[in-house]
Amino acid sequence: DQQVKQNSPSLSVQEGRISILNCDYTNSMFDYFLWYKKYPAEGPTFLISISSIKDKNEDGRFTVFLNKSAKHLSLHIVPSQPGDSAVYFCAASAEGTYKYIFGTGTRLKVLA
Amino acid sequence: DVKVTQSSRYLVKRTGEKVFLECVQDMDHENMFWYRQDPGLGLRLIYFSYDVKMKEKGDIPEGYSVSREKKERFSLILESASTNQTSMYLCASSLMNTEAFFGQGTRLTVV
Selected residues 41-70 of chain B with any CB under 8 Å from a CB in chain A: 41-45, 48, 50, 56, 58
Q: Which stretches of chain A are assigned E, i.e. beta strand?
A: 4-5, 10-14, 19-25, 30-38, 45-51, 56-59, 62-67, 72-77, 86-94, 101-102, 106-111
Residue B1 has what pLDDT?
67
Closest listed residue to residue B24, CA positions, set B59, B64, B67:
B67
Question: B-chain residues within 8 Å CB-CB of A34?
Answer: 99-100
**Residue of chain A whose alpha carbon sits nearest to that of B100:** A46
Per residue of chain B (111 residues), what is the pLDDT tens digit?
A: 669 999 999 999 999 999 999 999 999 999 999 999 998 899 999 999 999 999 999 999 999 999 999 999 999 999 999 999 999 999 999 988 788 999 999 999 999
Residue A57 has what pLDDT?
96
For all residues of chain A together, what is the average pLDDT?
94
* A23 contacts chain B (CB < 8 A): no
Backbone angles phi, psi at A53, to 5 degrees: -85, -10
Cβ <8 Å between A98 and B56: yes
Identify the three-state secondary structure at position B86: coil
Residue A12 has what pLDDT?
97
Nearest CA distance, A70 vs chain B (angstrom) = 22
Q: Given a cut of 90, is residue A2 above it in pLDDT?
A: no
Q: Are B78 and B64 in contact (CB under 8 A)?
A: yes
Nearest CA distance, A45 vs chain B (angstrom) = 7
Identify the three-state secondary structure at position B41: coil
C-beta atoms surrounding A102 within 10 Å: 25
Q: Are A99 and A34 in contact (CB under 8 A)?
A: no
Q: Are B81 and B19 in contact (CB under 8 A)?
A: yes
Residue A97 has what pLDDT?
78
Q: Which residues pair with B51 in a beta bridge?
A: B54
Dist CA B61 CA A106 (whole Å): 25
Question: A-chain residues within 8 Å CB-CB of B9?
Answer: 41
* Nearest neighbour of B105 by CB, restricted to A6, A42, A100: A42
pLDDT in tens, A36-54: 999 988 899 999 999 999 9
Question: A-chain residues within 8 Å CB-CB of B43?
Answer: 44, 89, 91, 102, 105
Selected residues 63-92 of chain A with any CB under 8 Å from a CB in chain B: 89, 91
Residue A41 has what pLDDT?
83
pLDDT in tens, A61-100: 999 999 999 999 999 999 999 999 999 999 999 887 778 9
Residue B98 has what pLDDT?
85
